[in-house]
Amino acid sequence: MGKEKNPRRVADNEAIAVSRMLRTSPQKLNLVAQMIRGKSVEKAIADLTFSKKRIAEDVLKTLQSAIANAENNHGLDVDELIVAEAWVGKNLTMKRGRPRARGRYGKILKPFAQVTIKVRQVEEQA
């Protein structure tokens, strides 16, 4: 007599992972997310591992989390996963400042972003 289970937000052959509060601008994070969209997970992991971008390490952790969710929570085959979607969103912006000449105030904005990665199982074509 309990509450009904919530329906899944993704399809049966998909898994998702989200990283919030990443200390970079969404514009810079989107360059890294763009690098892995549509690729197989092995290729995406290799690209992120050898990327020179600082935030690529955090995106790699998120991708590995999505792969683990697919394998452990949804029983998907890791070898058949691709990065179906990777999108970036804005998070909060810390406002800081610095005193400048003649009584002025230099505004310093420190943006945060979040990344969502969705992996999908596709059968390999022979």
Phi, psi of 3 (to 5 degrees): -75, 145
Condensed to tens digits (0 to 9), the pLDDT of residues 10-43 reads: 899 999 999 999 999 999 999 999 999 999 999 9
Which CATH number does the domain housing residue 32 bear? Answer: 3.90.470.10
Measured CA distances, 39 to 63, 66, 86, 92, 98 (Å): 12, 14, 11, 30, 43
What is the rounded distance in angstroms from the CA atom of residue 120 to the CA atom of residue 101?
A: 55
What domain range is 73 assigned to?
15-121
Q: How many CA atoms lie within 13 A of 118 on its CB side?
A: 13
> What pTM, to 2 d.p., does this model score?
0.90
8 assigned to some structural domain = no
Question: How many domains would you assign to the chain?
Answer: 1
67 assigned to some structural domain = yes
Condensed to tens digits (0 to 9), the pLDDT of residues 101-115 reads: 999 999 999 999 999
